Amino acid sequence: METGAIAGNRAVSDECCTGNRVESVLSAQQWRVVCALLDERSRPADPILREGETLDCEEYLTVCYELHHVLLPELSDVRFVEFDRFEDEVRRGIKFNEVRRFLAQIDDDYSVLAHKSIDP
């Protein structure tokens, strides 16, 4: 893919990177999925990248794997979301309203909070 190619919420880059970029994107995925479901009843089970975030193909696959095999199942286990692997879709779960009240209390961009806790 070309540098900076964007498809929907996907952004891919040829830039060289470190594990910090993947860690930053991964640390915010559950938060971003739940926030996205505030506006939509369902959404594709794709990673959500913020403006300016880019991943190369290998990093994107890593994030997809973690999202589908770890992060979305965790949210599904507590019933905040329903994750349909066959339809590749995430929907609000039966306990979604329990998490909704906390969303307003947390910083709008969780990835900034994650970086603050990692970097001095």
Q: Tens-digit pLDDT profile for the chain (120 aa)?
A: 333 333 444 444 434 445 788 988 898 999 999 999 999 999 999 999 999 898 999 999 999 999 999 999 999 999 999 999 999 999 999 999 988 877 766 655 554 444 443 333
Residue 107: what pLDDT? 56
pLDDT of residue 2: 34
Question: Is 42 exposed, middle or buried (CB count within 10 Å of its CB: 0-12, 13-18, 19+)?
Answer: middle
Q: What pLDDT was estimated at residue 46? A: 96
Using DSSP's 3-state secondary structure scheme, residue 116 falls into helix
Spell out the domains of the chain, with CATH numbers in brackets.
5-118 (1.10.10)
In the prediction, which pLDDT does 112 show?
Answer: 44
Across the strands, what pairs with 43? 90
Amino acid at 68: H
What does the angle CA 59 – CA 65 – CA 67 come to, to the nearest 5 degrees?
100
pLDDT in the model for residue 72: 97
